[in-house]
Amino acid sequence: MASLYPPACESSATPVVQGVPVQVASVTDSPAANTSAQEAMGKLNNFPPGLVKAMVSSLSAFPVRFFVVDNSGSMQATDGNRLILDAQGRGRMVQATRWEELSDTVMQIGTMAHALDARVDFHLLNPRPVLHGRGRLEPAGQFFTMAHDGRSTEEVGAVSTCGQPLDVLGLRQVMATSPGGTTPLTEAVMQLVSLIEPAAAQLRARGQQAVVVLATDGMPNDPPSFLAALQRLQLLPVWTVVRLCTDDDGVVRYWSDLDASLEAPLEVLDDDRGEAKEEHAKNPWLTYGSPLQLARTFGLQDKLFDLLDEAALLPSQVRQFCELLLGVPLPEPDLDAAAFIAAVQAALQTMPPVFDPLTSRLKPWIDVHLLTRQLDRHNGVARCFGPDCVIS
């Protein structure tokens, strides 16, 4: 199949410095291979086993991911937030530049791509040179691909790539460049349209979608043309995620209004703490750890993950979500809430706690007391947890 990229993409894809090859786990239909991938992922920020399984199972539905990286000059602003963790998972949220926040996310996505052998194409909004290990600059272009390895388009969802092959070290060199330039989001989206559109029929026939992540801190250079480009993109088999890297109320409001105006929804994600606040308002029993944020950015097939910040989950949905997160079968809480809670507690005993961006402490993934209260409220049950609690 001929390249589906427009000429501008092909001419910009000049070689990039390559680092040391990274050993990756291949994700196939083989249980042993999938187990290897799950072990590799489990070592990254304490991913719970169920979440890893959910990501592995999503690879067939989402055979390719496009990650548009906003490296415009405004990314130097200092209203970003970084999550810094030590080897034990302890850490804190610190103020950073928007570029530092985005660089952390890009590197984690790239590491996950290698661990899962899942293709991800990174598109920079502005071409940047990369500093070679010997001290000289080399043109890096704009387009890079990870975990592709020259495989045929049949193996990666019929979508070909002109991106230069990249490993984790090479990606780190790309992200070590300084951001600069404008925000040509319209042009970036139209490039993706040109790439995905010829493969759309085959993707639909397979029940597949391409994940498109727009990681940005601002508004496009030309909002009207961007809206038209986004509407055209959403006519294709795509799942679109917007990862915002700013606390600017005007920018956040722009993307929220844009989401409301589109026929197909956008999944708009804030940083870890911002998403944790939204999730906590609806489902306070869940600790919104960094692995969950990264998995949602990477693309998850089960839409239950997208409901966490929209509404309090029903008991049946709570069970489904806990099974997806923890990776174990659980009793039906509508039939036996006590057995369900006991099974959740038993599963939590087998996995380490996770960093909570709201409290800056390590906590279990699920607070069983708050979960019990949510189930009780749904069932109209009054329950007392403290010695001074009085039930009227």
Angle in degrees, CA 112, 117, 118, rounded to 5 = 75
Among the three residues 252, 269, 286, which one is the final residue of a domain in this structure? 269
Q: How far apart are CA 159 and CA 177, in angstroms?
A: 28
Q: Per DSSP, which regions of the chain are E strands?
A: 64-69, 80-85, 91-96, 120-124, 129-131, 137-139, 143-146, 164-165, 210-216, 238-244, 267-269, 354-356, 361-363
Burial 193-210 (b: 16+ CB within 10 A, else e): bebbeebbeebeeeebbb
Would residue 287 count as lying in a domain?
A: no
Among the three residues 269, 293, 321, which one is the final residue of a domain in this structure? 269
First to last CA, the chain: 71
Q: Which of 157-161, 256-260, 271-275, 358-362 has the lowest mean pLDDT?
A: 157-161
Q: How far apart are CA 338 and CA 334, in angstroms?
A: 10
pLDDT beyond 70 at 23: no
Would residue 175 count as lying in a domain?
A: yes
Q: Does one domain contain both 64 and 193?
A: yes
Treating both helix axes as pointing N-terminal to C-terminal, what angle do 98-116 and 31-42 enclose, rounded to 10 degrees? 150
Q: Does one domain contain both 263 and 312?
A: no
What is the pLDDT confidence band of residue 11, given thresholds at 50, 70 and 90? Answer: very low
Q: Record the tokens describing residue 239, joined without a space.
A: 């799942």
Domain of residue 334: give its range.
Answer: 305-392
Task: Report the length, in residues, of the chain.
Answer: 392
Q: How far apart are CA 153 and CA 165, in angstroms?
A: 15
Would residue 125 count as lying in a domain?
A: yes
Would residue 286 count as lying in a domain?
A: no
Point out which residues pair with 214 in neighbouring strands.
68, 242
Q: How large is the average pLDDT for residues 296-317?
A: 93
160: left (phi over 0), alpha (psi -120 to 50) or beta: beta
Q: How large is the average pLDDT for residues 135-162?
A: 60
The whole-model pTM stands at 0.84
Q: Does one domain contain both 345 and 261?
A: no
Burial 124-145 (b: 16+ CB within 10 A, else e): bbbbbbbeeeeeeeeebbbbbb
Residue from 45, 50, 59, 164 nearest 111 by CA = 45
Q: Record the tokens describing residue 188, joined without a space.
A: 């970036």
Would residue 229 count as lying in a domain?
A: yes
What is the pLDDT confidence band of residue 28, given thresholds at 50, 70 and 90? Answer: very low
Among the three residues 219, 251, 269, which one is the final residue of a domain in this structure? 269
Number of domains composing the chain: 2
Q: Does one domain contain both 259 and 352?
A: no
List alpha helices for 137-237, DSSP H.
168-175, 185-196, 200-205, 223-233
% of the chain residues with pLDDT over 90:
58
Q: Does one domain contain both 90 and 219?
A: yes
Q: Does one domain contain both 81 and 215?
A: yes
Q: How far apart are CA 381 and CA 280, in angstroms?
A: 22
Would residue 349 count as lying in a domain?
A: yes
- The residue among 124 and 8 whose pLDDT is bigger is 124
